[in-house]
A and B are shown apart, each in its own frame.
Chain A
Amino acid sequence: GAGVSQTPSNKVTEKGKYVELRCDPISGHTALYWYRQSLGQGPEFLIYFQGTGAADDSGLPNDRFFAVRPEGSVSTLKIQRTERGDSAVYLCASSSDGSYNSPLHFGNGTRLTVT
């Protein structure tokens, strides 16, 4: 079956611009996560959805970052007024039932470059 799909795979934008990153989770997976990975580091938690609601957004670095999942499936991560420090690979993951220790299934990520 299809895995987690993320689009675009690469995004180059200028400092100060707005970007949207999309995630299609595995069908039927209720839990959806966004992580960010910088060079040489492990994935860093941003936000977690259980269904349509953000169950935990404590990892969002500041109010320029926002994520939605209006119908409990597809999610969009939105970054306003991008900064060069936002450059990273943004990873989306889903899990089947949101049990706290259910393994995450990751997409291939969106590589964001802010120039």
Chain B
Amino acid sequence: DQQVKQNSPSLSVQEGRISILNCDYTNSMFDYFLWYKKYPAEGPTFLISISSIKDKNEDGRFTVFLNKSAKHLSLHIVPSQPGDSAVYFCAAIFYGQNFVFGPGTRLSVLP
């Protein structure tokens, strides 16, 4: 039973355009969400997070949106750059639980 889902295994976007990566979760107890980025042969690196008391968090080109009623979050990258090509994992947690990761979405930014 996957508690965190990323239904798009892959996404291709033109350089300079917006990339939107989606994540859905099933456990309403999750109260903190994170996005990680992973390059081949490297470990995931933390990108951005959001608390459930917020609906938006922005850091440079990266913005995460949270819709609690829909149990949905998304990561927006604007503008997309070739160096953004990687696998992106959504993760969720609540106190007393450990981080639960989604299966990832592979983003390809085409020059």
- B86 within 8 Å of A (CB atoms): no
Distance in Å: Cβ of B51 to nearest Cβ of chain A: 8
Which residues of chain A have C-beta atoms less than 8 A from B103's C-beta?
40-42
Total A-B pairs in contact (CB under 8 Å)?
A: 58
Question: A56, A93, A104, A106: which has the most chain B beta carbons within 10 Å?
Answer: A104
- The digit string for B68-106, where 1 denotes a CB below 8 A from any CB of A, is 000000000000000000000101011111111111100
Interface majority SS on A: helix, strand, loop or mixed?
loop
Interface size bucket, B side?
20 to 34
A16 within 8 A of B: no
Q: Is A105 an interface residue (CB 8 A)?
A: yes
The answer to whether the Cβ of A25 comes within 8 Å of any Cβ in the partner chain is no
- Of A4, A40, A45, A100, the residue contacting B43 (CB under 8 A) is A4
Taking a contact as CB atoms under 8 Å apart, the answer to whether B43 and A109 are in contact is yes
Q: Is the interface of B mostly helix, strand, loop or mixed?
A: loop
Closest beta carbon of chain A to B59's beta carbon, Å: 12
Contact B89–A43 (Cβ < 8 Å): yes
- Given that A33-B98, A103-B34 are contacting pairs, would A42 and B104 also be in contact in the complex, using a CB cutoff of 8 Å? yes
Give the chain B neighbours of A91 by CB distance below 8 A: 43-44
In the bound complex, residues from chain B placing their C-beta under 8 Å from that of A100 are: 32, 93-97
Ranked nearest first, the 10 interchain pairs of A and B with the lowest CB-CB distance are A106-B43, A42-B101, A103-B46, A101-B32, A45-B98, A100-B95, A43-B101, A42-B103, A108-B43, A106-B44
Name A residues whose Cβ lies closer than 8 Å to a Cβ of B: 4, 33, 35, 40-45, 48, 56, 59, 91, 93, 100-101, 103-109
